[in-house]
Amino acid sequence: MKKRHYNIPIFIPELACPFQCIYCNQQKISGRLKIPSEDEIIKIIEEHLETIPVKDSEVELAFFGGNFTGIGVDVQRSLLNLVKPYLKSGRIEGIRLSTRPDYIDEDILKMLKDYGVRTIEIGAQSMDDKVLLLSRRGHAAKDTEKAAEMVLKNGFSLGLQMMIGLPGDTLKSAVYTANRIIDLGADNTRIYPTLVIRDTVLEKMFRDGRFQPLSLEEAVLWSKELLLIFEKAGVRVIKLGLHPSEGLLSGEELVVGPFHLSFRELVLTEIWNDILKDVLNSDNSGEIEIHVPISQFNYAVGYGGKNKKKLLKKFKKVRFVRDNGLFRMEYTFH
């Protein structure tokens, strides 16, 4: 039986990040953030482990926050040391972390390997230098290429994250980035639509009329294209859309942008909308039964029943059936 994967997320803020990516408000909020204490981290780990079944599960500890290798080496070591006993007992199988492409070198990778890190996610954001420059990322596409090569050469699994809708970004450029991520050997990716967050350069640009974020509809359509490209290449899209932090949920942080709590569902609804066009074009207009993979059931029916409602305009009765003999985007109907 395939083991179920669980992440225990620990957020490590970059307290003194020397960069000024235009979409990020860390300069303003860093005073309010702090790295969790050792006790807090142990508490988070224990609380998660209590809820994760011991049998048939694969647990990874995930240090998120953008730039793990940008914090002091001593702090990195003490954080990694906290996980050691859990790796030894086998309760946690590995560590994953995210960082910038220009903060990786052979020495750091060797240290991370020794501490049981398995997956390194690099914030590529775009592989188009113009977009990187306009976003003041402070690195170029070639830095991501170099970092990806080093990560793979040292035996880690590679994640490459991308953003869509940054200044200068186009659908063509986003598709190019996705294809480069595939070529560079990523095993997984995350797609984040750009949001305008309060107290950022992007907010000022938006208010001055120099930047317009993607609409929700555009972000969904771009993500649909990208998801299909990654699917075809066997690269797992482990996140679509930003994790809803408290600030985003309350509206305190978000100025404007394509934020939606069910962003992934919206994207997959559109993919199934396209797939089901065949069904819509069939001669039958009476009752129809559509079999779909269990994992795709909600997406096939569509967000808010969108796809089913569309089919009901043509068919008298529409029934979706979860079929455990179908996988990925397979379906049958009669």
Contact residues toward ligand SF4 (CB under 6 A) are 14, 17, 19-21, 24, 26, 66-67, 100
How far apart, in whole angstroms, are the C-alpha atoms of residue 36 and residue 295? 35
* Of residues 132 and 186, the one with the C-beta less far from ligand SF4: 132
Query: Which one, of 121, 102, 94, 116, lies nearest residue 12 by Cα?
Result: 121
Count Cα neighbours of 66 within 13 Å in the Cβ-side half-sphere.
16
CB of 137 to ligand SF4, least distance (A): 7
Sign of CA dihedral 82, 84, 87, 88: negative
CB of 129 to ligand SF4, least distance (A): 16
CB of 10 to ligand SF4, least distance (A): 16
* Of residues 125 and 307, the one with the C-beta less far from ligand SF4: 125
CB of 200 to ligand SF4, least distance (A): 9
The helix (run of H) or strand (run of E) holding residue 273 is helix 263-275
* Of residues 99 and 298, the one with the C-beta less far from ligand SF4: 99
* Of residues 67 and 188, the one with the C-beta less far from ligand SF4: 67
**Cα–Cα separations (whole angstroms), residue 117 to 14, 143, 208, 241:** 19, 21, 44, 25
User: Which residues in the chain belong to E strands, given as ranges?
Assistant: 4-11, 57-64, 94-99, 117-125, 157-164, 188-193, 196-197, 236-240, 254-256, 287-293, 317-323, 332-333
Reduced to 3 states (helix: H, G, I; strand: E, B; else coil), residue 24 is coil
* Of residues 25 and 57, the one with the C-beta less far from ligand SF4: 25
CB 44 within 8 A of CB 59: no
Q: Which two tokens stand for residue 121?
A: 């996610």
* Of residues 14 and 270, the one with the C-beta less far from ligand SF4: 14
* Of residues 163 and 184, the one with the C-beta less far from ligand SF4: 163
How far apart, in whole angstroms, are the C-alpha atoms of residue 134 and residue 319? 49
How far apart, in whole angstroms, are the C-alpha atoms of residue 122 and residue 185? 12
CB of 7 to ligand SF4, least distance (A): 20
CB of 132 to ligand SF4, least distance (A): 11
CB of 76 to ligand SF4, least distance (A): 16
